[in-house]
Amino acid sequence: MATVADIRTYVVNLPRRRDRRKTIARLLPPDLPVTFTSDWPQTFDGNQLTRAALKLGGHELFAWQIDSDNPWWNRPLKLGEIGCTLAHWACWADAHQHGTEPYVLVLEDDAVPGPDMLGRLLAGLDTLDGTTFDLLYLGRFPLEADQPAVPGMVVPGYSHCTFGYLLHRRAIPVLLATDLHQAIVPIDEFLPAMYLDHPRHDLRERFPRRLTALAFDPPLVTQRPKEEAGSDTEDSPFVDW
């Protein structure tokens, strides 16, 4: 039977977004220990990222912009997208280095936990006992049709948004082995590439699928509207290097 002690939790948050930290800290279950990335010394703030700082950290960008009808692909990366991807990467690396819990929960600071999120999550994990999964979305934005799975869950199609997901510990070294930090793409695009053949052939070749994914349906977590919380990724400059 899964318990709160089985889950290591991270919240992606910037030091300057104390407002978001205060909001999500109030919404999270009080018995869920949480690590905030804003407490770490490294910066994931797109407003502070520079080409020199990325190179110093051993980070490189994927050749992102292509000629496409998809507006998200037919433009450069945004600095906030880079910082967000690096923050998720840092959560995985920290969990790999310091954690022993079987599950790793990653939330972004504009996530809104639903009623009894923790209880429903633990009950879902018990339902999955014996069912193999690596990635479990608590919330997302579906872009393609899902497939039925166990009651209360689906096999997700191509989806965006990473404001709430759970990883089985065995998935952590698999994710780190991709060297995403040396070919940075938006985390919204990377996670789907891990469990399906990504619709962009260049991403599909660089990041072939290697995980099994499920998603709660209905979701356990939603996302605050951007007009209410803002967007630290979209409200950042494009890379001009």
pLDDT per residue of the chain (241 residues) written in tens, 0 to 9:
999 999 999 999 999 999 999 999 999 999 999 999 999 998 899 888 888 988 888 999 999 999 999 999 999 999 999 999 999 999 999 999 998 999 999 999 999 999 999 999 999 999 997 788 999 999 999 999 999 999 999 999 999 999 999 999 999 999 999 999 999 999 999 999 999 999 999 999 999 999 999 999 999 999 999 888 788 888 888 998 7
| Virtual torsion, Cα 176, 139, 146, 134, nearest 10 deg | 30
State residue 144's pLDDT score.
96
Phi, psi (rounded to 5 degrees) for 125:
-65, -35
CA distance 192 to 189: 6
Query: What are the structural domains of the chain?
Result: 4-229 (3.90.550)
Q: What are phi and psi of 178, to 5 degrees?
A: -75, -15
Measure Cα distances from 228 to 49, 90, 224 in Å: 25, 27, 7
- DSSP lists the bridge partners of residue 216 as 153
What is the sign, positive or negative, of the torsion defined by CA atoms of 123, 128, 147, 223?
A: positive
pTM of the predicted protein model: 0.96
pLDDT per position as a tens digit, 32-75: 999 999 999 988 998 888 889 888 889 999 999 999 999 999 99
